[in-house]
Amino acid sequence: MSHYQRYPAYRDSCVEWIGEIPGHWEVKQTRHIFKIFSGSTPKSGEELYWDGDITWFTPDDLGNNQQKNISESRRKITEEGYKSCGTSLAKKNSIVFSTRAPIGHIALSTVPACCNQGCRILEPENGNTDYWYYTLASAKPILQSLGQGSTFMELPRQSLASFNLPFPPHEEQQAIASFLDRKTAEIDELITRKKELLKKLDEKRTALITRAVTKGLAPSAPMKESGVEWLREIPKHWEVKQTRLIFKIFSGSTPRSGEELFWDGDIVWFTPEDLGNNQPKNISESRRKITEEGYNSCGTSLAKSNSVVLSTRAPIGHFAISTVPACCNQGCRILEPENGIPEYWYYTLLSAKPILQCLGQGSTFMELPRQSLAGFKLPVPPLEEQQAIAEHIEKKTATIDRQKAQVTEAIERLKEYRSALITDTVTGKMNVQLL
């Protein structure tokens, strides 16, 4: 940001996170800038207290809010609920800040509002509210480091009240806020465009895989109706088989959690958490491993290496190929191919993920029943085509994945630039009045 001009004179703020500030700026504690409102919660079982007209923010409201401003809370309270719990209503254009679970979500409330115990509301008594929003946002890592607690981290009221903030003259606060509104909007627009590009690349990747595993690589191949809705037409010489006829299906189980003899062994034991959202195609390590005694105690079974691990609950549809012999817990199943190319089956099951998810059943959580998985129909090309399809997908998706990595890196750089721009501006490292 060297192209921005600095102020003519600086002095030490004596606050580590702020560093030097322009010579005519001040430093003030938040207690001298804001009226600080703590939160409270009406009794949850009292219907008279809930579904009213008073906005009542929680950390969840802030976490789900992607904008600078916020005007709606997921739940609202009544006048009776407000009076019952001792929370206080702050004026509109106050800053709502989460002080636990987690520390540091922040938004500017455009309506009068109160909050629960996980937030505090800072009502400016002087200065520009937008400037204070950006300043507190830039101080988020420092405020998080002041958290205390064993069960969960919480920012104590005293730590927030005594926190030091840079305090420019009011006209400079306005200039900084206006500059940051404009520049962050430009950066956010760039980030949005790049996220849309990521989405398109994901769609392209999915379409490429689905096309290859259901239609093959020969565009002019004669086709036939598969008799399966999600497959529609497939090459005439392909077959359709149920998964029970392609794989040996292993269910999972869990050794008794309190028995030390059963845990921290050498046997890989997968759970849905191991598979995760962004798991690479191949997997060889589980977060926890079990011993021979644990394995024998719970009735789970060991599948051979190069089997496909599938999460069947919480959530349905994470996949990976295990490159080692492995077993799993009740949230997964392992599909050991009795014939065919594991990579082809991985990509075929991946393309069928939305359909498998639709087969989930349950009220507490959705689970893919074993029978539904066993009876699920998949396309079966000849072995040499399976190999060719897998290699084609590997090559094409590698190109897409490199493009995605470049876009993701660009997004991270923009976020870093955005954060640095805000911090440098609100702490006076550059003089936006000269722009």
Residues 345 and 321: beta-carbon distance below 8 Å: no
Note whether 158 and 38 are same-domain residues: yes
pLDDT score for 86: 86
pLDDT, tens only, 13-26: 999 999 999 999 99
Q: How would DSSP label each residue in 268-311?
A: EEE-HHHHTTT--SEE---SSEE-HHHHHHHT--PBPSSEEEEE
pLDDT score for 93: 96
| Mean pLDDT (whole number) for 215-221 | 95
Tell me, yes or no, whether 185 lies in a domain: no
Tell me, yes or no, whether 199 lies in a domain: no
Structural domain containing residue 126: 26-167
Note whether 131 and 264 are same-domain residues: no
Q: Which of these, 144, 147, 151, 86, lies nearest to 115 by C-alpha position?
A: 86
pLDDT > 60? residue 2: no
Note whether 46 and 139 are same-domain residues: yes
pLDDT, tens only, 229-250: 999 999 999 999 999 999 999 9
pLDDT score for 25: 98
Structure token digits, residue 164? 């030091």
Q: How would DSSP label each residue in 208-267?
A: HHHHHHHH-S-TT--EEE-S-TTT-EEETT-EEEEGGGTEEEEE-----TT-GGGEEEEE
- Domain C-terminal end among 339, 356, 380: 380
Locate tokens 């019952």: which residue? 84
**What is the Cα–Cα distance from 90 to 290, expressed in whole angstroms?**
54
Query: Residue 150 — pLDDT band, cuts 50, 70, 90?
Result: confident
Q: What is each CA distance from 327 to 37, 283, 301, 364, in whole angstroms?
A: 52, 13, 6, 25
pLDDT score for 126: 87
Query: Residue 435 — pLDDT band, cuts 50, 70, 90?
Result: low
Tell me, yes or no, whether 187 lies in a domain: no
**Percentage of the chain with pLDDT > 70?**
98
**CATH number for the domain harbouring residue 47:** 3.90.220.20
Query: Residue 299 — pLDDT band, cuts 50, 70, 90?
Result: confident
pLDDT score for 101: 82
DSSP label at 54? E
Mean pLDDT of the chain: 95
Note whether 243 and 153 are same-domain residues: no
Query: Residue 147 — pLDDT band, cuts 50, 70, 90?
Result: very high
Note whether 245 and 158 are same-domain residues: no
Tell me, yes or no, whether 392 lies in a domain: no
Split into its structural domains, the chain has a count of 2
Residues 426 and 134: beta-carbon distance below 8 Å: yes
pLDDT > 70? residue 1: no
pLDDT score for 152: 87
Q: What pTM does this model have?
A: 0.85
Tell me, yes or no, whether 341 lies in a domain: yes
Tell me, yes or no, whether 12 lies in a domain: no
Tell me, yes or no, whether 419 lies in a domain: no
pLDDT score for 364: 85
pLDDT score for 314: 82
pLDDT score for 278: 61
pLDDT > 90? residue 3: no
pLDDT > 60? residue 258: yes
Going 21 to 26 to 29 to 34, the CA torsion angle's sign is negative
Tell me, yes or no, whether 5 lies in a domain: no
pLDDT, tens only, 343-392: 999 999 999 999 999 999 998 889 999 999 999 999 999 999 999 999 99
Q: Which of these, 96, 187, 192, lies nearest to 137 by C-alpha position?
A: 96
pLDDT score for 280: 86
Note whether 264 and 370 are same-domain residues: yes
| Mean pLDDT (whole number) for 169-191 | 97
pLDDT, tens only, 62-120: 999 989 999 999 999 999 999 999 899 999 999 999 999 899 999 999 999 999 999 99
Note whether 46 and 143 are same-domain residues: yes
Task: Pick 435 or 275 by higher pLDDT.
Answer: 275
Compute and round to an integer the Cα radius of gyration of the chain: 28
- Domain C-terminal end among 123, 140, 167: 167
- Domain C-terminal end among 109, 133, 167: 167
Tallying the residues shown for the chain, one arrives at: 435
Note whether 260 and 365 are same-domain residues: yes
